[in-house]
Amino acid sequence: MLKSHQFKTVSLIVVALAATLQTLPAKAADMTKPVQVFILAGQSNMEGQGVVSMDHPDYYNGGKGNLVWSMANSPSKDKMKRLKDADGKWAVRDDVEISFKVRGEVRKGGLTVGYTGYGRSSHIGPELQFGHEMGDFFEEPVLLIKTAWGGKSLYVDFRPPSSGGDVGPYYTQMIQEVRDALKALGDQEYELRGFVWMQGWNDMCTKPAVPEYAENLVNLAKDIRKEFNSPELPIVVGELGNGGAAKPGSGMQDFRDAQKLGAERIDNALFIITHDFARPAELSPNTSHGHHWCGNAESYFLVGDALGEGMKKLLSAAVKK
């Protein structure tokens, strides 16, 4: 039987081991295996508006709700521990890469903070935790091709060919950016494994766009699959969850209903509820930016987590067929 001091020693060892496991470097990518590729597309909330560390008392609410604050104070803090390494620096995951074209230049590298429209390490988007989910799921290396722009609608800007009318210029640009990122792999084998769509604010604010949204979403899925010769490509659609629960009959609820209807009409797709991840403005860095989840880093972390869980469900179901 262990004595009291021995129990304490064992406990300290367990605690130390747990802390070590939280900060172990990510596994190295085995580039002899096909890269598992995911397309992450949409508008500003896919670009990423979650504040990392800015904490000015006037402009960022003293840092409440930023990533540094969230890692110490939020309900998700334990799950977030992996985001820093043993030296307290932002961890970089080598088995998961991101390719994101920002202001005409492609940023590419290991999964970490900063792959947003700002071109610096100041913000995060859903890609961060989604990437960790995919990296944990696959033994093969993972590539996230992110293609997103703020203030763009599916009704006009991303309008897919099957919807008729003028093809959206950002639909065309999205396809080209994905093709360029795949071409950059050179002789490396790859498998396109999923499409993630996080978009909707501009359509919600455009009255004639809402009745069309479900059909446009179905057509987007159809055309993406055709473009890349992947008829069963898994698709997850993130709810426009900004602001939390919507009032029945509100414009937000009508739009969410259209999103859900469209996603349910797509085979091998899931609609991911996100409004539960909204956090109070007073506990967020950008108190007046409700359209961007008030810049709350935990919100973007949890959105990415939910999108990743949804994608894993689709991938697992495909394996069982």
CB atoms within 10 A of CB 243: 16
- Is the predicted pLDDT of residue 301 greater than 50, yes or no? yes
**CA–CA distance from 80 to each of 14, 47, 162 (Å)?**
20, 20, 41
**Rounded CA gap, 131 and 96, in Å?**
7
Question: What are the DSSP calls for 195-241, one per residue?
Answer: EEEE--HHHHTSTTHHHHHHHHHHHHHHHHHHHTT-TT--EEEE---
Query: For the residues 130-151, what does the mean pLDDT come to?
Result: 98
Region 165-180 average pLDDT:
98
- The number of beta carbons lying within 10 Å of the beta carbon of residue 120 is 10
Name the more confident of 159 and 9.
159
Each residue's pLDDT tens digit, 85-99: 999 999 999 999 999
**Fold classified for 34-320:** Rossmann fold (3.40.50)
Q: For residue 231, how many other CB atoms are within 10 A of its CB?
A: 10
Output the pTM of the full model.
Answer: 0.90
Give the three-state DSSP class for 107.
strand
Lowest mean pLDDT among 31-35, 47-51, 211-215: 31-35
Is the pLDDT confidence value at 69 over 80? yes
In the predicted structure, residue 171 carries a pLDDT above the cut 90: yes
Checking if the pLDDT of 16 tops 50, the result is no
Q: Where are the domains of the chain?
A: 34-320
For residue 84, what is the DSSP state? B
Q: Which of 20-29, 162-171, 258-267 has the lowest mean pLDDT?
A: 20-29
Beta strands in the chain (DSSP E): 35-42, 50-51, 93-102, 105-111, 123-124, 142-148, 190-198, 235-238, 269-272
Provide the residue type at 296 as one letter.
N
Angstrom CA distances, 318 to 146, 180, 238, 260, 269, stand at 24, 27, 20, 22, 12
Q: Which two tokens stand for residue 230?
A: 């992947």
Distance CA(170)–CA(167), nearest Å, equals 9
Can you tell me the mean pLDDT for 243-256?
A: 97
Give the pLDDT confidence score for residue 119 in this predicted structure: 82
Give the Cα separation of 178 and 224 in Å (integer).
11
Structure confidence at residue 27 (pLDDT):
57
The one-letter code for the residue type at 9 is: T
pLDDT of residue 32: 84
Q: What pLDDT digit, counting tens, does each position of 103-138 carry?
A: 899 999 999 999 999 988 999 999 999 999 999 999
Residue 29 has pLDDT above 90, yes or no: no
